[in-house]
């Protein structure tokens, strides 16, 4: 047997061990289609997440304004209405971002789809998107090592599943509350405990972190958060009296 043939068989066995061949080998066209689909999903997921993160900041700012001004603290019906709407909005949003239903687009579904089609983003493809000087310094390979074992061609299934498990763990309390108290009038409304604002914040932080991680993998762009920067003074309407004097007299 020729050395070239021996090497070819050896490379095939190594690829097989890493899981490179699962059924039919993926064509280049299929790889492009998967990557295009995932980029589209990321845009939708990112827009939803960005608004949730903005909602959280607005809610916290309004809470601070009310806490620091005793004249507007009572009666508290309006404040309770704000809280109820925020809690419902963010709980539904967190559940949507970690939806397991195969008919939906969610962060969970994105990671699951990547795990079933890992050939679409190999180490070679990932590294090729970096400038050559970053490749030469090993920074591109270092970034891919966040998804795979060192020198492996494919993303690690264990690491993908770890992210799915983390997503489930950190959103479970909020999702359970949403299912029993907000989305449905459950006959059994008992929950482990009612999630606090801190629980909601932690869920959003974990989702944000995982989103940024997979944005790098799929799109090649680096970001620390999906929270958008508001380019205008959204607090301006709060600096005016909301009820005109003539209306107060009525």
Residue-wise pLDDT tens digits, 213-243? 999 999 999 899 999 999 999 999 999 988 8
Annotate 120-184 with DSSP letters as a single string.
GS-HHHHHHTS-HHHHHTTHHHHHHTTTSSTT-SS--HHHHHHHHHHHHHHHHHHHHHIIIIIS-
Residues 29-71: tens digit of each pLDDT: 999 999 999 999 999 999 999 999 999 999 999 999 999 999 9
Structure tokens at 3: 């050395």
Residue 204, pLDDT above cutoff 90: yes
Domain ranges of the chain: 26-229
Report the pLDDT value the prediction gives residue 21, as an integer from 0 to 100.
Answer: 47
Give the whole-angstrom CA distance, residue 221 versus residue 215.
6
Does 23 score more than 50 pLDDT?
no
What pLDDT shows up at residue 135?
A: 83
User: 212: which residues sit within 8 A by CB, 6+ positions away?
Assistant: 222, 223, 224, 225, 226
Residues 94 and 176: beta-carbon distance below 8 Å = no
pLDDT single digits (tens) 121-177? 999 999 999 988 888 888 999 999 999 999 899 999 999 999 999 999 999 999 988
Contacts of 151-157 with CB under 8 Å at 24 or more apart are 152/18, 152/123, 153/15, 153/18, 153/20, 153/122, 153/123, 153/124, 154/18, 154/19, 154/20, 154/118, 154/119, 154/122, 154/123, 155/114, 155/115, 155/118, 155/121, 155/217, 157/19, 157/115, 157/118
> Across residues 66-89, what is the average pLDDT?
94
At 148-161, the pLDDT tens digits run 999 899 999 999 99
Residue appearing with tokens 């600096």: 239
Position 195 scores a pLDDT of: 82
For residues 6 and 180, what is the distance between their CA atoms, to the nearest angstrom? 60
Predicted pLDDT at 244:
80
The answer on pLDDT for 181 being more than 90 is no
Q: What is the pLDDT of residue 249?
A: 57
Residue of higher predicted confidence among 209 and 19: 209
Question: What is residue 176's predicted lDDT score, i.e. its pLDDT?
Answer: 87
């Amino acid at each position: 047997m020729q050395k070239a043939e021996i090497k070819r068989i050896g490379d095939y066995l190594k690829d097989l061990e890493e899981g490179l061949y699962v059924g039919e080998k993926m064509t280049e066209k299929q790889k492009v289609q998967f990557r295009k689909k995932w980029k589209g999903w990321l845009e939708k997921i990112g827009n939803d997440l960005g608004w949730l993160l903005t909602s959280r900041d607005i809610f916290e700012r309004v809470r601070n304004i009310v806490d620091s001004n005793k004249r507007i603290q009572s009666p508290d019906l309006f404040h309770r209405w704000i809280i109820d709407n925020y809690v419902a909005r963010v709980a539904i949003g967190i559940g949507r971002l970690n939806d397991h239903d195969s008919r939906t687009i969610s962060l969970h579904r994105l990671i699951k789809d990547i795990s079933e089609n890992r050939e679409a983003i190999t180490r070679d493809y990932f590294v090729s998107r970096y400038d050559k000087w970053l490749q030469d310094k090993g920074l591109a390979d270092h970034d891919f090592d966040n998804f795979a074992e060192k020198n492996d061609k494919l993303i690690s299934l264990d690491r993908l599943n770890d992210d799915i498990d983390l997503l489930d763990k950190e959103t479970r309390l909020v999702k359970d509350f949403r299912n029993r108290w907000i989305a449905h009038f459950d006959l059994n409304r008992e929950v482990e405990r009612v999630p606090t604002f801190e629980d909601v914040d932690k869920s959003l932080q974990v989702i944000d972190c995982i989103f940024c991680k997979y944005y790098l993998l799929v799109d090649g762009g680096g970001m620390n958060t999906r929270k958008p920067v508001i380019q205008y003074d959204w607090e301006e309407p709060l600096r005016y009296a909301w009820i005109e004097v003539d209306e107060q007299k009525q």
